[in-house]
Amino acid sequence: MAQVLEFKLPDLGEGLTEAEIVRWLVEVGDVVAIDQPVVEVETAKAMVEVPCPYGGVVTARFGEEGSELPVGAPLLTVAVGATDASSAAPGDDGTAAEEPSGGSGSGSGNVLVGYGTGAPAARRRRIRPERNTAPAAPAAPAAPAAVSAPSRPAPVAVAIGEVNGRQGPVAVVSPLVRRLARQHEIDLRGLTGSGPDGLILRADVDSAIRQAGQATEAATRTAAEPVVAEASTAVASPSAAGAATPATAERIPLRGVRGAVADKLSRSRSEIPDATCWVDADATELMAARAAMNAASGPSGGPKVSVLALLARICTAALARYPELNSTVDTAAREIVRLPGVHLGFAAQTERGLVVPVVRDAHTRNAESIGAEIARLTELARTGKLSPAQLTGGTFTLNNYGVFGVDGSTPIINHPEAAMLGVGRIMPKPWVHQGELAVRQVVQLSLTFDHRVCDGGTAGGFLRYVADCVEQPAVLLRTL
């Protein structure tokens, strides 16, 4: 006889207490293997696939896509030992069998943080019966056609089974695309993707939203025509002017990555007395040095070095001279904690929102090594595969907002760090060079720092050293 075991949302680590269900990977009645991913969830830090520690037949799922579950809440139940879906049915009393108290066959040894599968606790859970038919709704009385509001038309090209006849998995990767579709009630299974291998892109969802809006507008005009014709033969009443339904504001829940960013930035603003200083620097020599590095071949050649990697290496050298900025404040103990190593975070804008991957032990790496790690983490961020551990533990952040085509900014410190260096775009500008006016590659650098850990002299010295290295990269030779 099959034993029905309950699988709860495990502890995903890094102090996370809840997760949003993005996509179910199994259906009720599916046979799953031990450690097979069964659901894709999004936390405040990353999107992960959750593996099930039991093998058997899925008998129930708890939670719809888009809903949030706390850690420890039931995810699904699995009939262990069942060979088909019928063997997963509960007994005559409608209750699930007790979970085994131990044994090697009860689960896998591969567990997430805080979740053990070797010896699940015994429990009984009532199986929710599946509803095969829905009760018919009572017929509503017919309303006069002249005063009835137009019903909402069905979404264009988005009904299940009406377009392309697809019922399988949705070819979409981006959580942003899924969220946008949910907000506008667009069924992704009815869309044909324009991306590679039929991948559904944001443009496809935007197009479906526009089509649905056009259909709604057309239906509204059609339903309003009799009213307009009748009104043309009578005097308009004063209440007719206010008959139009006012537009409503869109409300977007602050959760997931957006919610985590909001919480962290609000905490930074409320706790940290920050100040910002900035300086323009001539980056012509730095760009020339980078071009020479990337043009080298043979034994002196190697992978291409990015501007961000060079700036990151400059930051680690500057932090070695000004360790006050590689610190944090312990408010409970009223102490400044200077950190022994540099774990360099860099801001990256993705479809899920702003994330800050961390380059571990950046102070031990050269520009080539830092560049390779930045490229690896950026790719993981782009595909939404960064783990929570790769997004935490930073001690200093580098923010290259120049990629957005802006010159300057006053960045908000990434709590609980003590400073952040911002870099604007590098562009040709008039500049006095060696006593003559010339066109040079100029960049604006800004440093936002926690005024509790240092005074303006230290912050100014750090920023001036960074600017000197940008203008004369040979200065770095002292620390190589």
| Active-site amino acid positions | 451
DSSP 414: -
Question: CA distances (Å), 143 to each of 140, 147, 150, 357, in order?
Answer: 9, 8, 11, 58
Dist. CA 329–CA 390, nearest whole Å? 22
Dist. CA 236–CA 190, nearest whole Å? 44
Residues 6+ apart with CB under 8 A from 268: 274, 412, 413, 414, 415
Question: Nearest 5 degrees, angle CA 420-CA 338-CA 422?
Answer: 5
Question: Nearest 5 degrees, angle CA 301-CA 304-CA 309?
Answer: 120
Dist. CA 395–CA 414, nearest whole Å? 9
How far apart, in Å, do the first and last CA atoms of the chain sit? 69
Dist. CA 266–CA 414, nearest whole Å? 10
Question: Nearest 5 degrees, angle CA 179-CA 182-CA 183?
Answer: 90
Q: Which of 449, 463, 464 is nearest to 325 (CA)?
A: 449
Dist. CA 366–CA 294, nearest whole Å? 15
Partners of 420 in the β-ladder: 397, 448
Question: CA distances (Å), 152 to each of 145, 147, 217, 419, in order?
Answer: 15, 16, 10, 52
Residue with tokens 């990767």: 173
Greatest Cα pair distance in the chain? 94
Dist. CA 138–CA 129, nearest whole Å? 24
Question: CA distances (Å), 252 to each of 45, 52, 179, 184, 423, in order?
Answer: 18, 31, 10, 12, 31
- 198 by DSSP, 3-state: which? helix
